[in-house]
A and B are shown apart, each in its own frame.
Chain A
Amino acid sequence: MLTVENLQKSFGGVQATRDVSLAFPAGSLTAIIGPNGAGKTTFFNLISGQIRPDAGRVVFDGEDVVGRSSLEMVRRGMARAFQVASLFPSLTVREALTAAVTAHQRRSWSLLARFPLGQSRARVEELLELLGLGAKAELVSSSLSHGDQKLLDIGLALAMDPKVLLLDEPTAGMGPDERWRMIEKVHHLWQAKSLTMIFIEHDMDIVFKYAQAVHVLKYGAVLAQGTPAEIRRNQDVIDAYLGTDHHLAEGAA
């Protein structure tokens, strides 16, 4: 579904992405891990068209998409959610999802009809149901709890009916219980929508339990890639990131 080859990006003198080559097969659930400053978010920005790589290829759905704008990437089926939920504060949950679905249906220019369009309704109901936000549909986005804001952010991305969904730390800023509820929901979405999903995550218990494949970045380069079991045994990863005292034996997937 998505392959990157020899991706390079520097900002000034800092090399944020060094010769990264990774593959994300259709329908896979991949975690990207690595210490702060490893270039994880930069990697997302590179593949989603927000910034242009200095060199390398991004092949999405069989086509080289380097140089495509983020708008084109969304329309081709690559959606993303953000580390800090990126919402429309004054719109209600329902309005925001409806506006997003309307944009996806290419009806944003519709001037003569009234909002919401009939053709968006079923899809919005489905999304509310999928996210479990039905009871909060009429609440203003800015009044939602942190966790619900993160969920709505993912919901907006899902409104794009994406082939590939990028999630930048879906559990950031949450307490332990909330984290697990969130990742279970994300996992459920992945199964329900048969998406290709890539998520950045810091919680190793979550990564090792849910990810099918794990890619480890360090200083912008790929340090290791493999199944969760391989990664947790990988000496380089343990030295660089996991640490020797990380209790790796527990909770094997």
Chain B
Amino acid sequence: MRAGLMRDLGLGLIGLVLLLALPALFPHPSLRDFLIYVIAYGLLAMSLNLLVGLTGLVSFGHAAYFASGAYVFGLLMQGGAVSIPVAMLAAVGGTALLALVIGAICVRLKEIYFSFITLAFQMFIHSIILTWVDLTGGDQGLRGGIPRPPFLGIDLGDAGTLYAFCAVVFVACLLVMRQVWQSPFGYTLRMIRDNPARANFLGVDVVRMKLGVFVLAGTMASVAGIIMALFVSGAFPEFGFWTTSGEAIFMIMLGGTQVFLGPVIGAFLLQLLNHYVTIWTHHHGLVLGIVILAIVLGLRRGVADYAMAWLADRRAAAAPPATPAKAAAPAETKAAG
């Protein structure tokens, strides 16, 4: 399926150009800050959706890997011995190992038990961050800034360069996840999501597949953490608190689980809401709650899923009645853009 790959690469390139052009067209520093938040949290939500939307594993503890990426990267950079790319690779590799150990225990459990044990491991990691003050700075976080020495002629000390770097990393990660989504591996995960017992009777090693995607999702979350650490020049215990996982789940619910880019759309909407609602009122939690309730009860799915289903219905209505097509299905294959 070379055509699908080329199309995704093309769309990725267009997305990257758009991301790079926006701050240039509207040179307001707050726009760039806004977009970096969307990039970091969008990536976190996208990585979580590999578990939730693709595999049917609702993890409540995904922020643990976000925090792990941020702290490992921040500590290595503060140590001063390695360059940014090496620290990134080490943070990603270290988090993959962490996800492998935690995942090996979690993926054996089903449904709500899986959710709870992922939450438990996250609280465990959060309390390590809080109590190991010598290493992590405890509740103050990694202070004193994260040095950003230039590498290969790239100076991330410059705000514009940092933004461009984050955008490139973000789009690269989306392309990796898109490949996972469209691979035989991704379709096997859909089998597990729909009917794990049947997948097992068709020769799918369900536990190992789940562990594989768990590690992959943790790895991608760590990249989001690295982006965040680079941007705020620090790492904070809230990165690994359950509210961060909760926010990622909000984004997925807001944007949708079945359309590939749904979680990023959700991240964008949530940041937008946060931004404007906090200008108007102190009770922004209340307003956000009402908006999410309205979407959950009104649309009964994320906005992107809703839009795709609506489009599919229209297409089915326009087509001859003999071909109801994929009207009732999550239209994921058409949802690249």
B130 to chain A, nearest CB (A): 37
Interface pair A104/B203, CB less than 8 Å apart = yes
- Across the interface, which residues of A come within 8 angstroms of B201, CB to CB? 48, 70, 74, 79-80, 86, 157
Q: Which of B61-69, B188-196, B234-242, B246-254 sits within the interface?
A: B188-196
B107 to chain A, nearest CB (A): 15
Q: Which of B285-337 contact A (CB under 8 A)?
A: 324-326, 328-330
**A95 an interface residue at 8 Å Cβ cutoff?**
yes
- Across the interface, which residues of B come within 8 angstroms of A221, CB to CB? none
Q: Which of A55-63, A110-118, A126-134 sits within the interface?
A: A110-118
- Across the interface, which residues of B come within 8 angstroms of A98, CB to CB? 187
Known contacts A110-B184, A114-B5; A74/B202 CB under 8 A? yes
Q: Which of B41-49, B111-119, B204-212 sits within the interface?
A: B204-212
**B1 an interface residue at 8 Å Cβ cutoff?**
yes
Q: Which of B165-173, B175-183, B276-284 sits within the interface?
A: B175-183
Q: How many residues of A contact B (CB 8 A)?
A: 44
- Across the interface, which residues of A come within 8 angstroms of B200, CB to CB? 70-71, 74
Interface pair A115/B194, CB less than 8 Å apart = no
**A206 an interface residue at 8 Å Cβ cutoff?**
no
- Majority secondary structure, A binding face: loop
Q: Considering only CB atoms, which chain A residue lies closest to B206 in the complex?
A: A71
**B22 an interface residue at 8 Å Cβ cutoff?**
no
Known contacts A99-B190, A104-B202, A142-B328; A115/B197 CB under 8 A? no
Q: Which of A76-112 contact B (CB under 8 A)?
A: 79-80, 82, 86-92, 95-96, 98-100, 102-104, 106-112
A81 to chain B, nearest CB (A): 9
- Across the interface, which residues of B come within 8 angstroms of A88, CB to CB? 190-191, 194-195, 198-199
Partner of A91 from B190, B209, B324 at Cβ < 8 Å: B190
- Across the interface, which residues of A come within 8 angstroms of B195, CB to CB? 86-89
**A216 an interface residue at 8 Å Cβ cutoff?**
no
Query: Is the interface on chain B under 10, 10 to 19, 20 to 34, or 35 or more residues?
Result: 35 or more
Q: Which of A152-179 contact B (CB under 8 A)?
A: 156-157, 159-160
| Most B C-beta atoms less than 10 A away, residue of A48, A86, A106, A111 | A111
Known contacts A86-B195, A90-B329, A92-B329; A160/B184 CB under 8 A? no
Known contacts A86-B195, A159-B202; A108/B185 CB under 8 A? yes
Interface pair A156/B202, CB less than 8 Å apart = yes
A193 to chain B, nearest CB (A): 17
- Majority secondary structure, B binding face: helix
Bound Cα distance from A142 to B325, whole angstroms: 12
Known contacts A88-B191, A103-B202; A111/B182 CB under 8 A? no
**A138 an interface residue at 8 Å Cβ cutoff?**
yes
Bound Cα distance from A160 to B193, whole angstroms: 20
**A139 an interface residue at 8 Å Cβ cutoff?**
yes
**A143 an interface residue at 8 Å Cβ cutoff?**
yes
Interface pair B324/A143, CB less than 8 Å apart = yes
- Across the interface, which residues of B come within 8 angstroms of A99, CB to CB? 184, 187-188, 190-191, 202
- Across the interface, which residues of A come within 8 angstroms of B326, CB to CB? 92, 138, 140
**B255 an interface residue at 8 Å Cβ cutoff?**
no
Interface pair B203/A109, CB less than 8 Å apart = no
Bound Cα distance from A109 to B328, whole angstroms: 28
Interface pair A90/B194, CB less than 8 Å apart = yes
**B186 an interface residue at 8 Å Cβ cutoff?**
yes
Bound Cα distance from A103 to B190, whole angstroms: 13
**B160 an interface residue at 8 Å Cβ cutoff?**
no
- Across the interface, which residues of A come within 8 angstroms of B197, CB to CB? 86
Known contacts A75-B203, A114-B183; A138/B325 CB under 8 A? yes
- Across the interface, which residues of A come within 8 angstroms of B203, CB to CB? 71, 74-75, 103-104, 106, 160
- Across the interface, which residues of B come within 8 angstroms of A110, CB to CB? 183-185
- Across the interface, which residues of B come within 8 angstroms of A112, CB to CB? 179, 183
Interface pair A115/B1, CB less than 8 Å apart = yes
Interface pair B184/A108, CB less than 8 Å apart = yes
**B4 an interface residue at 8 Å Cβ cutoff?**
yes
Q: Considering only CB atoms, which chain A residue lies closest to B194 in the complex?
A: A88
Bound Cα distance from A71 to B326, whole angstroms: 31
| Most B C-beta atoms less than 10 A away, residue of A48, A98, A139, A160 | A139
Interface pair A117/B184, CB less than 8 Å apart = yes
Q: Considering only CB atoms, which chain A residue lies closest to B216 in the complex?
A: A111
Interface pair A90/B190, CB less than 8 Å apart = yes
Partner of A109 from B199, B212, B325 at Cβ < 8 Å: B212
B116 to chain A, nearest CB (A): 26
- Across the interface, which residues of B come within 8 angstroms of A114, CB to CB? 1-2, 4-5, 179, 182-183
Query: Can you report 29 residue pairs joining A to B where beta carbons are below 8 Å apart?
Result: A48-B201, A87-B194, A88-B199, A90-B329, A91-B187, A95-B187, A95-B190, A98-B187, A99-B190, A100-B191, A103-B191, A107-B184, A108-B184, A109-B209, A109-B212, A110-B185, A111-B183, A111-B184, A113-B1, A113-B183, A113-B184, A114-B1, A114-B4, A114-B182, A115-B187, A116-B1, A117-B184, A138-B326, A159-B202
Known: A115-B187, A117-B184; 9 extra A-B contacts, CB below 8 A, are: A100-B191, A109-B209, A110-B184, A114-B5, A114-B183, A115-B1, A139-B324, A140-B328, A143-B324
**CB-CB nearest 3 A-B residue pairs:** A114-B1, A88-B194, A108-B188
